[in-house]
């Protein structure tokens, strides 16, 4: 079956813009995709017209993902088995805690938010659906990192810089490895003002039936209201909710973190 070159190029451009850390120019797009400038210009114009992309800066003529693409993607994702399985548990956590509850999947070394239930009003502007956040400094990201098999974790560490976001951000590789080890022991991750000042979160991973980590969830709160007892309690809640969602996806383990050496060869192959 032959492929349509224009459609293929449009998808390549969307992927490039989605994975870029900042809005990028036509020249950068052409250089990275090897698409001739005349062809890329026409494709970009069409993607902007369809709201798949938008112009980030008129003067610099830089491009970023458009809201139309987010709306289409989120509409598709909302009908998947994963979100259907997760939504009731997200709502339950939101009711129990009164805090903001987040749900995200990993993509290209970042977490992409797919669902959010609002809690305290001051947090409502901190997250947008479809937005990407770093993994090393967020509870939802560290929960997923702690669930990676060692090869996947090393690949992440070799590819993604541990950028500082606040004075509390973990930026040393050894310190992050230690934090992830603690996450596996306590059964939930903690973001202690590592991504945003005065924001604290606890998180847990979600798995498929093949033991592959497929998503993460977290409870987000104001750090000044988050003492050790509350973090421990919320950590237990998010762990249990994530385990229930994973069970709905066919996951058979009794816990969210385990010794990889004890998995069978078939399980290791499926989760890799």
Q: Are residues 21 and 100 in the same domain?
A: no
Q: Are residues 53 and 105 in the same domain?
A: no
Q: Are residues 151 and 39 in the same domain?
A: no
- Distance between CA atoms of residues 24 and 57, nearest Å: 10
| Residue-level length of the chain | 272
Which residue, of 47, 69, 91, is where some domain finishes?
69
**Could you give the number of structural domains in the chain?**
2
- What average pLDDT does the structure give for the chain? 85
Which residue, of 15, 35, 69, is where some domain finishes?
69
Q: Are residues 91 and 59 in the same domain?
A: no
Q: Are residues 139 and 47 in the same domain?
A: no
pTM: 0.70
Q: What is the pLDDT of residues 69-121, one digit of tens each?
A: 666 665 555 546 788 889 999 999 999 999 999 999 888 788 988 888 988 65
Q: Are residues 157 and 244 in the same domain?
A: yes
* Residues spanned by the domain of 232: 78-271
Q: Are residues 132 and 226 in the same domain?
A: yes
Q: Where would I find the H helices in 160-264? A: 173-186, 228-248
Q: Are residues 178 and 131 in the same domain?
A: yes
Instruction: Indicate the burial class of 212 (C-beta count within 10 angstroms; 0-12, 13-18, 19 or more).
Output: middle
**Residue 125 — very low, low, confident or very high, per pLDDT cuts 50/70/90?**
very low
Q: Are residues 114 and 97 in the same domain?
A: yes
**Strand ranges for the chain from DSSP E:** 24-25, 53-57, 62-65, 100-107, 110-117, 132-134, 189-192, 199-207, 213-222
CATH label of the domain that carries residue 114: 3.30.450.40
Which of 41-45, 73-77, 126-130, 159-163 comes out lowest in average pLDDT? 73-77
**Residue 219 — very low, low, confident or very high, per pLDDT cuts 50/70/90?**
very high
Q: Are residues 54 and 87 in the same domain?
A: no
CATH label of the domain that carries residue 42: 1.10.10.10
Give the residue among 75, 74, 87, 104 at the shortest CA–CA distance from 248. 87
- Distance between CA atoms of residues 150 and 84, nearest Å: 30
Mean predicted confidence (pLDDT) in 6-10? 87
Q: According to the model, what pLDDT value does residue 73 have? A: 62
Q: Are residues 106 and 238 in the same domain?
A: yes
Which residue, of 69, 101, 124, is where some domain finishes?
69
Q: Are residues 165 and 115 in the same domain?
A: yes
């Amino acid at each position: 079956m032959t492929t349509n070159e224009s459609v293929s190029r449009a998808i390549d451009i969307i992927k490039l813009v989605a994975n870029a850390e900042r809005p990028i120019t036509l020249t950068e797009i052409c250089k990275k995709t090897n698409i001739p400038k005349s062809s890329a210009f026409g494709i970009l114009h069409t993607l902007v017209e369809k709201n798949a992309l938008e112009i980030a800066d008129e003067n610099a003529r830089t491009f970023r993902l458009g809201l139309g693409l987010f709306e289409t993607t989120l509409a598709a994702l909302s009908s998947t088995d994963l979100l259907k399985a997760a939504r009731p548990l997200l709502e339950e956590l939101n009711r129990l805690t009164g805090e903001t509850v987040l749900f995200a999947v990993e993509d290209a070394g970042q977490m992409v938010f797919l669902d959010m239930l609002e809690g305290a009003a001051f947090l409502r502007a901190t997250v947008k659906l479809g937005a990407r956040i770093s993994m090393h400094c967020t509870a939802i990201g560290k929960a997923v990192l702690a669930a990676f098999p060692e090869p996947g974790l090393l690949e992440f560490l070799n590819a993604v810089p541990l950028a500082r976001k606040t004075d509390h951000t973990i930026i040393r590789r050894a310190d992050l490895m230690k934090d992830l080890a603690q996450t596996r022991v306590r059964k939930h991750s903690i973001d202690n003002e590592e991504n945003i000042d005065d924001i604290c979160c606890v998180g847990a991973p979600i798995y498929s039936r093949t033991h592959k980590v497929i998503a993460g969830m977290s409870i987000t709160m104001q750090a000044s209201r988050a003492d050790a007892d509350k973090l421990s309690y919320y950590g237990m809640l998010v762990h249990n909710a994530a385990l229930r969602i994973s069970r709905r996806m066919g996951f058979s383990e009794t816990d969210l973190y385990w010794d990889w050496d004890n998995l069978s060869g078939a399980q290791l192959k499926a989760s890799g």
